[in-house]
Structure 1
């Protein structure tokens, strides 16, 4: 495992990409059985199936899924697979790889970064926020009350007091997030196929997406363009697929491990220096006080 030759690391990465869905599904089933006394379902991955098809059949007791369900999960996996070296977990791979450590340590570090609610757990924050909006607004079709509540969110008077509308805005995609557009289109198709409350829920998400920019404009007195990012609809999509929340971030890892692998290989191929951040003290200079004269 400590062999960091390019050929061996490539082999390790390909195996990890292929095995991550199975490890995730089995870990989820084992957790449900040993911690929550639920039935233990172990379905072997099937040759000839895509990653999304295998994942769905491994986590579901009856192993059944529709073509549309597999298509939309496949799209979500593709959209989350890579996002440049600037995202937190991919940069973590570069930093840890630069130390000369093994592949498994670098990927484990990336998973630790992804676990954070500001990164891989962002879609869970979106869903939790949306539930909070519904609880306080009542009527999901009342645009006036929804917008008022969004302004309260921005004013740090509601939900977690962060002043954020989760799932809206992105550091890179300032005009529009093409990933969100593609996922939204498929989410609408799946909601229509499921019907009932899922169509209502999708329309509620669409309303919040529509009203958020005007809420920003009113609160901040700015015409800056704000758009939904990929996290806004991904949690809704996973819920419509009946995927438990505990698997939302692991599914992100199943997808992003392809990008992490590419970044690790890039770091090994083009750099031979350890990454060390430069720090600059921005505090005020303090006069030296002798130890005997210092107060507690």
Structure 2
């Protein structure tokens, strides 16, 4: 114990040393025109590349000024609202079709889609002994951590993992897309057993199911789910699948890819980026905020009470005292987030007559009241609900545990990461290397006995 306390004090002393010599004056960022976060002064992103995969549209530049517009999201030129709408209307699963579109650039024919599904079914199994050696023997309390480690571990099961040919990259991408959901569910089951002291359900894979059906079948102890539940999860997967090359996790994947490292390292880096609470973990914060609201508001459907609660959040007097209303605002979207609109449109019907109906009413109040409350504080820029405001409640409706909220995001977004890695690998042709301005002045060396 004495040695441990000594080590702790030593680390605290080292931290004080770090703080003393590692400060950067915020004014220097403006002086040297540094694009912090690779953002321009008006909040727009620094142009870092070209892509055919996705367009995230939330504003226009009119005579040099950023002008808000209704949000739109395009996969390979197709409006996501239209893609999702056709699948919902026909009551058919669309995620596999989105995978084909994102990677290959065209909508598949029925024959091509059937061929892709056959390949994905073939790859859904994990390598022999992978579960026992890589997952059961090294459990993690965080499923995103386990996803990243599992992807890296798959390198060892690849007979030629550094082969960067198109054939190898396509095959590798489809393998990981097919396996990631299986890995996520199994990692969750192991976590339940080792960290929560609960029963671990390990079901055999069932090739031939849609991606969303397989996820629900593997996750639930009785393997029972309704078609409506599977279709709603499929909708979530479609709108999670891609969001442009500039989002943090996709950019991380492209940065590593530009060095011509292996696919497993690139995809694991994307998972690591998505794990961050400023990126993929935002929907968890919305659910925690909603739970806090239920504790402090007698009627979460009462406009006045909800407004008072939100005002306390903005004043840093409530919840986590960050001054944020989670699920509101986006770096690109200004007037609306099309993903939030899609979820809201189709999920509200599923909530009718259930315990979640009031939750959706509360979220709708948060969406409608926040812009007005922020305007009263002098914040004039447009703010809209982002899809994180609604995804957590949708997942709860599907009885998906919070431990799998962000991993579920990853199992869909791997489709977009794969498309961007392959595009970067075969069209980028230059390692990504931005510059950092060095502000440390030259110093003469001081002998150790004179310091």
What TM-score, normalized by structure 1, do the two folds share? 0.91
The answer to whether residue 171 in structure 2 is matched with residue 14 in structure 1 is no
Structure 2 residue ranges without an equivalent (≥5)? 1-160
Say yes or no: does 1:46 pair with 2:203: no
Confirm or deny: 8 A CA contact 1:137 1:146 kept in the other structure: yes
State which of 413, 430, 438 in structure 2 corresponds to 1:273: 430
- Structure 1 partner of 2:420: 263
SS at match of 2:431: coil
For residue 197 of structure 2, the aligned residue among 24, 32, 37 is 37
SS in 2 for 1:38: coil
1:203 partnered with 2:357: no
Tell me, yes or no, if structure 1 residue 226 matches structure 2 residue 383: yes
- Deviation per CA, 1:65-100: give whole Å up to 9, x if none: 111111111010000100000100000001111122
Bigger share in helix? 1
Partners of 1:39 and 1:160 in 2: CA distance: 33
Match of 1:217 in 2: 375
Q: CA RMSD, aligned part only?
A: 2.0
Give the one of 233, 240, 247 matched to 2:404: 247
Stretches of 4+ moved more than 6 A in 1? Answer: 285-290
Number of the residue aligned with 1:58: 218
Structure 2 distance, partners of 1:45, 1:287, is 61
Asked if structure 1 preserves the Cα contact closer than 8 Å seen for 2:301 and 2:358, the reply is no
Aligned residue pairs: how many? 289
Q: Look up the match of 2:104.
A: none
The alpha-carbon distance between structure 1 residues 290 and 247, as it changes in their structure 2 partners (threshold 3 A), is: closer
Say yes or no: does 1:25 pair with 2:185. yes
Which of 126, 139, 153 is 2:286 aligned to?
Answer: 126
Higher strand residue share: 2
Pairing 1:117-156 to 2, within 5 Å after superposition: 117-156=277-316
More displaced stretch, 116-125 vs 33-42: 33-42
Normalization by structure 2: what TM-score? 0.61
Unaligned stretches of 5+ residues in structure 1: none
Larger relative contact order (CA 8 Å, sep ≥ 6): 1
Separation (CA, whole Å) in 2 of partners of 1:200 and 1:152: 21
